[in-house]
Structure 1
Amino acid sequence: MGLIDWIFPKECLSCGKGGAYLCFDCKKTLNPHPELCPSCHRPSKGFSLCRACSSEEMMALEGIIVGFSYEKWLKKLILKLKFYHQHSVGEFLSQRAELLVLTHEELAKAVDENNLVISWVPSHWWRHYFEKGYNQSQLLAQDLAKRLRLPSFSLAKKRKNTASQLTLKRSERLTNLQGAFVAQNLDKIKKGSLILLVDDVTTTGATLNQLAMEIKKMRPDLKIWGLVLARKIS
């Protein structure tokens, strides 16, 4: 047991049993998020865009892989990482993300072929350095990359300090993100790579899609997937 675990012992957020953020018995109660199209939210194998939505010009993502619904213990864990600087929670959550990657047919193949590059949704510099001191999506992405022994890069910066997407109506989310991101470091990515953009929570997928659009403006040869731990139902 490390010093941090001795001072702040881990306990199950569901039943209170000591030793882990989620005990073995409570893990068995989890229900995976259904495989849905990220645009219309109809059933779609592998979380990919359905045939109808894939023809839309405004969709730059191949799909968004979602672990669970944003509720119960997972909500508590994500909030601990997001607002309370508990970075050890990020290590636990990145284990969940690793399972999502390795059980997804297309991403698992890209891992085997060493053709997957991991990135994250950037935060604005003011929020990163003066409000929180870190970016929880970056922590998740970089720990996931270490687990999978894959490269990770910051592929965009956020130049506009936007309002939280969770506080906005569906119609307001797209305008909130216009001009928010600018792509960078794309010269480091080999042609035809598959990019995985990591975030903690999504509602409509607008943030991930806007980021993917900015990347594909510069590198249309890249295939881009999103991965989130949870989806909040709006």
Structure 2
Amino acid sequence: MLTSFKSALNSALALSTQCAFCLQAKACDEICCSTCQDMILSPRKCRCERCYLPLAEPGICGECQQTPPHFDNIYCLNDYLWPTDALLKNYKYAKQRHLARPLSQLLWQHLQQLQAPLPEAYCSVPLHWRKRWQRGFNQSELLAQVLTKQSQIPTLNVVRRLHYGSSQASLTRRQRQRALNHSFHCDTSLAFKHWVVVDDVVTTASTANVIADKLKRAGATRVDIWAIARTPKA
């Protein structure tokens, strides 16, 4: 009964003419109100062309030059700061699943403006079955499903999470990398060569790097990461 109520509530919110973020009125053809869109979209600043971290000038950061990641590019709407962090916490932990639609649509619109290369398929960051059961949904998978509707590019679940663990958010890059190395498995002999891994937040990029490595070992030649937000300092 409670699950049905939550589903109905999220459906009603998704179809509302109010802005999904601030609940003010918006035009029917807008994703959200113009004020929220201006706040959520990435500010004009120099970013590393690989990992999306801020730079003083255009180019590739020293870390990506010294140790190139397995992924090719990260694209995000904004940094994981207010108001984006608050929206994602509501989406992820308060189970406001209706936010997947406007967030994904804003990301798609943003990527079109950047003329980002389109993949042949999406792959969402998988959750262990126990974590998915506890949360009730996979936040990355919902984002990918909206992107599929927008772009007609399929979402394929080719990566599985093998181990259940505690949250990775508080771990350092090295600790996270060690914990993740054996946590994912990818089906072999991928039919598509260009993939996009969809996530809600890129923190240290360790998860993205491991999944990109798995995809490339299975036959992918290019793997990009699309996410709503990027933690400013890993």
TM-score over 0.5 for the alignment?
yes
- Structure-2 residue corresponding to 1:68: 78
Look up the SS of the partner of 2:165 in the other structure. Answer: coil
In structure 1, C-alpha distance between the alignment counterparts of 2:125 and 2:60, rounded to whole Å: 20
Change (3 A) 1:213 1:87: same
- Structure-2 residue corresponding to 1:117: 121
In structure 1, C-alpha distance between the alignment counterparts of 2:52 and 2:113, rounded to whole Å: 22
Structure 2 stretches lacking a partner, 5+ long = 1-8
Change (3 A) 1:161 1:28: same
- Residues 159-189 of structure 1 deviation map (CA, whole Å, 9 limit, x = unaligned): 01133221112331111212010002x5462
- Structure-1 residue corresponding to 2:156: 153
Change (3 A) 1:101 1:188: same
- Residues 88-143 of structure 1 deviation map (CA, whole Å, 9 limit, x = unaligned): 11001111121233233341xx3xxxx521111000111112x1121000000111
Identity of paired residues, percent? 22
Q: CA deviation at 1:203?
A: 1.6
**8 A Cα contact 1:49 1:62, kept in partner:** no
Q: CA deviation at 1:42?
A: 4.1
Change (3 A) 1:40 1:134: closer
Look up the SS of the partner of 1:227 in the other structure. Answer: strand
**8 A Cα contact 1:10 1:19, kept in partner:** yes
Pairs aligned (count): 218
**8 A Cα contact 1:196 1:224, kept in partner:** yes
In structure 1, C-alpha distance between the alignment counterparts of 2:101 and 2:77, rounded to whole Å: 16
- Structure-1 residue corresponding to 2:89: 79
In structure 2, C-alpha distance between the alignment counterparts of 1:123 and 1:147, rounded to whole Å: 23
- Structure-1 residue corresponding to 2:191: 189
Q: CA deviation at 1:53?
A: 3.0
Look up the SS of the partner of 1:150 in the other structure. Answer: coil
Q: CA deviation at 1:227?
A: 0.9
| Structure 1 residue 38 corresponds to structure 2 residue 51 | yes
- Residues 185-233 of structure 1 deviation map (CA, whole Å, 9 limit, x = unaligned): x54623xx310000000122110110111121221x4210011110123
- Structure-2 residue corresponding to 1:53: 64
In structure 1, C-alpha distance between the alignment counterparts of 2:57 and 2:19, rounded to whole Å: 36
- Structure-1 residue corresponding to 2:212: 212
In structure 2, C-alpha distance between the alignment counterparts of 1:159 and 1:88, rounded to whole Å: 28
In structure 2, C-alpha distance between the alignment counterparts of 1:182 and 1:206, rounded to whole Å: 15
Look up the SS of the partner of 2:83 in the other structure. Answer: helix
| Structure 1 residue 176 corresponds to structure 2 residue 176 | no
TM-score w.r.t. length of structure 2: 0.78
**8 A Cα contact 2:52 2:75, kept in partner:** no
**8 A Cα contact 1:98 1:147, kept in partner:** yes
Change (3 A) 1:44 1:149: farther
Aligned-residue CA RMSD in angstroms?
A: 3.1
TM-score w.r.t. length of structure 1: 0.78
Structure 1 stretches lacking a partner, 5+ long = none
